[in-house]
Amino acid sequence: MLNYSTTQGLKNALRTFGNIKNSTALRSAKYSTNVNRSNESKDIESPEESTLRSHLDVKPIDYTNNAPVNPKKKRPLLSDSKYESKLYQLPKWKEALGEIVIKSFNLDMDKVRAGPVAGSYYYALCKEQGLQFENEPLSSTAKFFYEDLKLPRTFSQWFQVTILHEWILFVRMRAMPFKYGKNYQQKLVDRTFSDIELRLFDEMNVNSGRIADQYLKDFNSQLRGAVFAYDEGFFTDDATLAAAIWRNLFGGRKNVDMVHLEAMVRYVRAQLYVLSKMSDREFAMGGFKFVPPDETVHQLSPQQEAEMRNAVIEKYQAMDKKPDLLPSERSKLSFEN
Amino acid sequence: MSGAVREAASQLVKSLERLPQERVKHIVSLKESQLERFKPVAGLETNTQDSKQRPSLQDIKDIISRTSGPLGLQKDVLKKVNSMLPQEHYTVEAIQEQSQALNNLLNNKYKNYYAVGEKLMKPQGNPHYYQRLMDEIDGKKKETFWTAMRTVVFGK
């Protein structure tokens, strides 16, 4: 009941994989593979490729403090709760009890799902993007941020990377029905701050509650400022979005590389494009993953888009019609938009 | 600095001047800071107040390298300071790349290519969200006490 594994969602359709050939097996599952390889246009490349192409040579790029997180005690990705560990299997009787409760009280599952999907799954996605520890190899996305874009490896930089990704999700959540979208946003923010508080104590070795509170207030105002600036940039033009990214993600440093800035704008816009092609239902069920920076998102042709939409509609219509659909799998969110 | 670099940099400065003015004043401005950075490369005068009052990076480097022990600093400390100061070596290629990237941004290349449509621009849950934000920033329609209270109570 509480297990929301990622479905191979729509987003895969928008990617191009270098190593996967269009085999017939993949073709049959139309909306989950690379239907749009043919749409490749030459001047669109992945953000990582274009960053590496830059010839601007500035050394050292950033002379601020470089302090990788060096925890005494490392926290799990989400929480200490056994329910959020990957290995945990809910006993069958608990699962059945849950279903009975949902059915008898007629719980609104779209509302209930906000916790496990936005608060847990989506937060973990955002958190992972820029996660870094001293003496530990970086993930490939983190490499893009800290090595290719040469951002300083600090805790507050991690926070900036995280809120950029959260904002990308906020944009999509606003397009959900108000009641649900708001709830998803709230859960994501709540989780962010409760997690940061624990990380400050456990991993950043902050011992005083007063100092931790100060940091949290600081992070809160950073979040508000960033969301405002990104919203403005998203709605107006690329140059404004670039300026917002420069002020927040790049810390407003003078010796910035415009090619890096361009790559980040492309990265953000590409994620939003993928989200705009996703239905409410699929997004709310946790079917989204960020497109890694070394992959390119290409535009869909109207025909491919229609094809994908039909596949999604078919899938969920069949699901809703199933007589033995569990009460916890029910949803009223639209799968047609 | 060679003529070709200067030529490329002046092209870049021209593009930088096309960057839109910020609607809200921030502590730092992308346009101002980059103009300040590339105008000297293009051989143009920087005329911001700030740059006149404060010594430029060039001045500081000059002071450090002019004498053997400026400010009574030890040799190894000097070395450290020098290695911490950003060294920028511009080539024609690098500067042209900068202009190219900037022009892509100015032409809204990605906003147009990755067009998200009405679905995200006028989100179903809160259709006037962005318009209200822009009206407030541009000063077209200010938020009043009552509209603000409405947002607090109802969320939109």
DSSP assignment of A75-143 equals PPSS-S-GGGSTT----HHHHHHHHHHHHHHT--HHHHTHIIIIIIIIHHHHHHHT---TTSPPPHHHH
pLDDT in tens, A210-242: 999 999 999 999 999 999 999 999 999 999 999
Q: What pLDDT is stored for residue A17 in this prediction? A: 35
Q: What pLDDT is stored for residue A235 in this prediction? A: 95
Question: Considering only CB atoms, which chain B residues are within 8 Å of A299?
Answer: 113-114
Q: Does residue B60 sit in the same domain as residue B129?
A: no
Q: Does residue B122 sit in the same domain as residue B75?
A: no
Q: What pLDDT is stored for residue A1 in this prediction? A: 37
Quote the number of domains for chain B: 2
Closest CA of chain B from A315, distance in Å: 22
B90 CB-side CA count, 13 A? 25
pLDDT in tens, A288-309: 999 999 988 988 889 999 999 9
For A257, other C-beta atoms within 10 Å of its C-beta total: 22
Q: What pLDDT is stored for residue A34 in this prediction? A: 45
pLDDT at B86 over 70: no
User: What is the average per-residue pLDDT within B9-27?
Assistant: 91
Q: Does residue B148 sit in the same domain as residue B89?
A: no
pLDDT in tens, B105-151: 999 999 999 999 899 999 998 899 999 999 999 888 888 899 889 98
Q: Does residue B29 sit in the same domain as residue B103?
A: yes
Q: Does residue B98 sit in the same domain as residue B141?
A: no
Please name the residue that has the structure tokens 């962010």: A192
Contact A238 B133 (CB under 8 A): no
* Chain centroid offset of residue A121 CA: 9
Q: How far apart are CA A16 and CA A295, in angstroms?
A: 7
Tokens linked to A62: 């950033």
Q: Does residue B50 sit in the same domain as residue B95?
A: yes
Q: Does residue B107 sit in the same domain as residue B126?
A: no
* Of the listed ranges A75-79, A100-104, B9-13, B52-56, the one predicted with least confidence: B52-56
The pTM is what? Answer: 0.85
Q: What pLDDT is stored for residue A76 in this prediction? A: 85
Q: Among A328, A287, A235, A198, which Cα is nearest to A5's? A: A287
Q: Does residue B57 sit in the same domain as residue B24?
A: yes
For A172, other C-beta atoms within 10 Å of its C-beta total: 25
Q: Which of B98, B117, B130 sits opposite A259 (nearest CB)?
A: B98
Helix (H) or strand (E) holding B87: strand B87-89
DSSP state, B25?
A: -
Taking each helix axis from N to C end, the angle separating A238-248 and A258-276, rounded to the nearest 10 degrees, works out to 110
Burial A66-97 (b: 16+ CB within 10 A, else e): eebbeeeeeeeebeeeeebeeeeeeeeeebee
Question: Hey, is B89 helix, strand or coil?
Answer: strand
Q: Does residue B46 sit in the same domain as residue B109?
A: yes
Q: Which of A178, A235, A270 sits opposite B126 (nearest CB)?
A: A178
Q: How far apart are CA A112 and CA A281, in angstroms?
A: 14
Q: What pLDDT is stored for residue B50 in this prediction? A: 57
> What is chain B's mean pLDDT, rounded?
83
Question: Considering only CB atoms, which chain A residues are within 8 Å of B24?
Answer: 232
**What ipTM score was computed for the predicted complex, to two decimals?**
0.81
The angle subtended at Cα A249 by Cα A246 and Cα A254, nearest 5°, is 40
Q: Which residues contact A237 (CB under 8 A, 6 or more apart)?
A: B20, B108, B111
For A138, other C-beta atoms within 10 Å of its C-beta total: 17
Closest CA of chain B from A189, distance in Å: 16
- Picking from A174, A222, A253, A291 by the largest number of B CB atoms within 10 A of its own CB, the best residue to mutate is A174
Contact A254 B83 (CB under 8 A): no
Q: What pLDDT is stored for residue A14 in this prediction? A: 43
Q: What pLDDT is stored for residue A16 in this prediction? A: 39
Q: How far apart are CA A133 and CA B32, in angstroms?
A: 35
Q: Does residue B18 sit in the same domain as residue B94?
A: yes
Q: How far apart are CA B7 and CA B91, in angstroms?
A: 11
Q: What pLDDT is stored for residue B87 in this prediction? A: 67
Burial A318-334 (b: 16+ CB within 10 A, else e): eeeeeeeeebbeebebe
Q: Does residue B33 sit in the same domain as residue B56?
A: yes
Is B113 near chain A, with CB under 8 Å? Answer: yes
**Cα→Cα distances A322→A106, A316, A319, A325, A332, Å:** 18, 10, 5, 5, 15
Cis amide bond preceding A323, omega within 30: no
Residues of chain A falling short of pLDDT 50: 1-35, 37
Strands (E), chain A: 57-59
Residue B128 structural domain = 116-156
Q: How far apart are CA B143 and CA A79, in angstroms?
A: 40
Q: Does residue B76 sit in the same domain as residue B138?
A: no
